[in-house]
């Protein structure tokens, strides 16, 4: 018996998310079609010029903007950033951070420290319980 492998496909929005690019900035043929798993793998392995350009200069989706600014997506929203930003706009914010960005970075840093503390505590408790638990 031969197994028939169906081709997995996804919506352009899903593919753009997996590629880390802003959907509205992608070429029309990308936005209007479907993307197969093989096509996605090809885009990741050997990105075309348009994809390299988007990744380098943007506009970038909010998760990428948040990561580059060292804050959360919620922090961006609290700061009034609801649109995609270019690399130049992100760099300008980094060079001259507004008060909201300084505050959100501090909050993000505190969250990371608390996460580390809790992980260390869980690890210590797991070690104390030993393998017999």
**Which tens digits make up the pLDDT trace of 24-48?**
999 999 999 899 999 999 999 999 9
Lowest-confidence region among 62-76, 85-99, 101-115, 119-133: 119-133
pLDDT of residue 85: 95
Residue 50's Cα: distance from chain center in Å? 19
Beta bridge pairs of residue 60: 85
Residue 36, SS3 per DSSP: strand
Residues 7-29: tens digit of each pLDDT: 788 999 999 999 999 999 999 99
Burial class (CB in 10 A: 0-12, 13-18, 19+), 122: exposed
Alpha carbons 99 and 45: distance in angstroms, whole number: 39
**Confidence band for 130, pLDDT divided at 50, 70 and 90:** low
pLDDT at 75 over 80: yes
Alpha carbons 94 and 71: distance in angstroms, whole number: 12
pLDDT at 133 over 90: no
């Amino acid at each position: 018996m031969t197994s028939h492998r169906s081709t997995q496909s996804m919506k352009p929005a899903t593919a753009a998310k997996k590629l880390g690019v802003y959907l509205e900035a992608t070429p029309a043929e990308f936005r209007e079609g479907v993307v197969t798993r093989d096509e996605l793998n090809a885009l990741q392995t050997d990105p075309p010029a348009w994809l390299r350009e988007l990744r380098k200069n943007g506009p970038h989706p909010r998760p990428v903007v948040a990561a580059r600014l060292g804050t959360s997506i919620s922090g961006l929203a609290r700061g009034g950033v609801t649109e995609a930003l270019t690399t130049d706009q992100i760099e300008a914010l980094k060079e001259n951070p507004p008060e909201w960005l300084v505050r959100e970075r501090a909050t993000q840093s505190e969250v990371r420290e608390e996460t580390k503390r809790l992980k260390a505590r869980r690890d210590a408790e797991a070690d104390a319980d030993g393998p017999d638990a």
